[in-house]
A and B are shown apart, each in its own frame.
Chain A
Amino acid sequence: MSFTNLVSLWSDQPIISMVVWLLIIVSSLYLARKPAHRAIRSAATEIRSALRVAAKAITHTEHKLVERNTEVLMAAGRDDMENNIIREFHRVNASVNRDLSAFPSIHRRLTEQAELIDSDYQEAANVPPDPPGWTKAVEAVAKLRGEDASMIGKILTDIHTTVAKSQKQSFEEYRKANAKRHELLRRMMPRWRTLTQTMKEVNQSIATLQERSSTIDEQMNRYEEILQCTSKAQKTLSSSSMTQFFIAGIVLMIALIGGVINFYLIAMPMSEMVGGNSQLGPFRTSDVAALVIIMLEVAMGLFLMESLRVTHMFPVIGRMDDKLRQRMLWITLGILVVLACVESSLAFMRDLLAVDREALRQTLSGNATAMPEMRWIPSVGQMVMGFVLPFALTFAAIPLESFIHAARTVIGAVLVGLLRLTATTLRLVGNTCYHFGALLAQVYDLIIFIPLRAEEAIAGRKARAEEEKSFAETERTNHSSVSL
């Protein structure tokens, strides 16, 4: 039955028919008012309850996820910190081995220097012999020096000469002894310097150790904070993880671009090897082959970095004994070199094909021109690029590991955010539904406002009649009591 038929069901006049319909609808709605209100209210309440339960469940999951994220974050931080502390201890060990292993020799050198200085000092301390004690006698005799040429005078002159000579000799010896003493003191100077230098070296070693020990102290403090799961440690680790995620992501993007360039470098010449028309599914075989070579290079790079213990993504490689790991290192490096050579030759072939294609294009267009000079430069450039790119891609293993580690935390945080948003949305929708139910009930009443008003008027009149009746009753009772 179409709408037009419905409209003209009660009368040919659509207005009359519609009025009839309106009356039917309004009276039906009025009659069904109470159950309809109950249904609307209960539906709204049920929806709100269901959504609140769902929100609660999601919030519960969110809390669990937060716990798990914290555990992951703390475990990662703990591992990092342990590795840092172990590395610091290794450095301290190396420093102690390097500096303090030489301590016995330094000690011996110091003792020798001290002994030498001491002996020099002892020697320098020896007082030179005083001029003979009879100097005064000589002076007295000297004063007796006669002018005459008598015997006594002669004797006295001789004595004077002898004593003067002896005194001169004594002074000479005294001067020599002093000079020797000065020489000894002068010889002490470089020894003092050596001693000071040695002491400086010892001091420097001690200072380095002190520095390392303070670094270890700092890291131990952080480690303790992580163990205690403090909010400061959480914030620091979370922020560090985010930073790591974005930095590693950017570097990986750069590596990806490098990979794409690498792909275009070898995809075209690959068609010369595997055919340009064969397909693997929707992809050209040459493209797939080029991609496989690049993937192999990346895989070899991962193994190489793992064998070098730069990354720690494969525990199996980490558990290998050193000899086996070293073999693996050489094997992966060898394969990588072979792949790099293959790429380099493919890059060269690409250049040859490009030249041939260009020559053909010129022949077909009838504008054949001579090949430009220095044509070899791009050829060599492509070959070098083909050789270097595989090794450059090897280093993508480092940001990849960081990215994977950081991604665990970041993805966890994103999931927490999503769950929180979902829970809030569900609560919001639930409350909106509840209030919408109330609004719907009001709108329902609005549609049937005429019978409702009539009902109210009738009820009001009835109430007033009741009131009047009760008032009259009361009045009558009062009158009868007064008359009594």
Chain B
Amino acid sequence: MKSILKTYQRIITGALLIPVVLSLSACGEPENRSRAVYMLLDTSGTYTRQLDKASHIISYLLMSLDSGDSLAVARIDSGSFSEKDIIERTTFDDRPSVANTQKRKFRGVMDEFVKTARSSAYTDISGGMLQAVEWLKETGAGDKTILIFSDLKEELAKGQIRKFELQLDGVRVVALNVTKLSTDNIDPREYLTRVDDWQRKVLKGGGSWKVINDLEKVDNLLAG
């Protein structure tokens, strides 16, 4: 009888120890679940007319991001590798009520920008990407996303050097609303080549690439 009782005790002890051991093993390094999103807005040429659509995307981002997540929106203009091109950036507070206030403020700034945005002569997408990567690294977020709201047609000012590889390890790059230019209609290969070039560049840098042209389907924008 004693041996049976001892066996029972061992079984019960084992059964109790298993969840303890499992939970202890799970208590190691906490998973970094914070997200950071850097959105690049193309303001070159006639693309400024598309900024209303970008505003919807920003609203969606503000609704999706939670406390602890970071969001930055920057314009792509003639020289985008600059802090000055960042329109607004913030890391949402741990307290949901404060985070909501930050989101309202962010939205206000963006509304103001959309109203007053001016076209730029050139389109320095690479410079913007470089700035985005730097900022995303600074946030230390576990999930990093760059959203490029552009037609992906890069036009650099004279003397600008952008022939370098981007370091995009662990960064998801999503091209939004890649509109077809009038020249693309004449030769669609131009459009395809443009998109392929960017895809190659991003994949070579270690990032992932995705194109979303139908802005009604942005529900899983941050889900990967």
Residues of chain A touching chain B, judged by Cβ–Cβ distance below 8 Å, are 61, 64-65, 67-68, 268, 271-272, 275-282, 352-353, 356-357, 360-361, 363-366
- The answer to whether A271 and B67 touch across the interface, beta carbons within 8 angstroms, is yes
Known: A276-B96, A363-B107, A365-B59. A61 touches B4 (CB 8 A): yes
**Would you call the interface of chain A mostly helix, strand, loop, or mixed?**
helix
7 cross-chain CB contacts under 8 A? A68-B5, A275-B67, A280-B30, A356-B100, A357-B100, A360-B104, A366-B59
Residues of A close to B68: CB separation below 8 A: 275-277
Known: A61-B4, A281-B26. A360 touches B100 (CB 8 A): yes
Other than the given A276-B99, A279-B30, A360-B103, 15 more pairs (CB < 8 A) read: A61-B4, A64-B4, A67-B1, A271-B94, A272-B95, A275-B95, A276-B66, A276-B96, A280-B27, A280-B30, A281-B23, A282-B26, A282-B30, A361-B63, A365-B63
Residues of A close to B103: CB separation below 8 A: 360, 364
A147 to chain B, nearest CB (A): 128
Which of B23, B31, B96 interacts with A357 by CB under 8 Å? B96
Residues of A close to B30: CB separation below 8 A: 279-282
1/0 per residue B142-157: CB within 8 Å of A?
0000000000000000
Query: How far apart sit A356 and B101, CA to CA, in the bound complex (Å)?
Result: 9
Residues of A close to B129: CB separation below 8 A: none
Residues of B close to A279: CB separation below 8 A: 30-31, 33
Residues of chain B touching chain A, judged by Cβ–Cβ distance below 8 Å, are 1, 4-5, 23, 26-28, 30-31, 33-34, 59, 62-63, 66-68, 94-97, 99-100, 103-104, 107
The 9 closest A-B pairs by CB, nearest first: A277-B68, A275-B94, A276-B67, A281-B27, A364-B59, A279-B30, A277-B94, A360-B100, A282-B26
Residues of B close to A68: CB separation below 8 A: 1, 4-5
Residues of B close to A278: CB separation below 8 A: 94
Known: A281-B27, A360-B103. A272 touches B63 (CB 8 A): no
Query: How far apart sit A68 and B5, CA to CA, in the bound complex (Å)?
Result: 9
A363 to chain B, nearest CB (A): 7
Residues of A close to B95: CB separation below 8 A: 271-272, 275-276
Known: A279-B30, A282-B26. A272 touches B4 (CB 8 A): no
Query: How far apart sit A357 and B31, CA to CA, in the bound complex (Å)?
Result: 26
- The answer to whether A272 and B97 touch across the interface, beta carbons within 8 angstroms, is yes
Residues of A close to B5: CB separation below 8 A: 68
Residues of A close to B28: CB separation below 8 A: 281
Query: How far apart sit A353 and B30, CA to CA, in the bound complex (Å)?
Result: 27
Query: How far apart sit A360 and B103, CA to CA, in the bound complex (Å)?
Result: 8
A446 to chain B, nearest CB (A): 47
- The answer to whether B59 and A65 touch across the interface, beta carbons within 8 angstroms, is no
Residues of B close to A365: CB separation below 8 A: 59, 63
Query: How far apart sit A101 and B64, CA to CA, in the bound complex (Å)?
Result: 77
- The answer to whether B96 and A272 touch across the interface, beta carbons within 8 angstroms, is yes
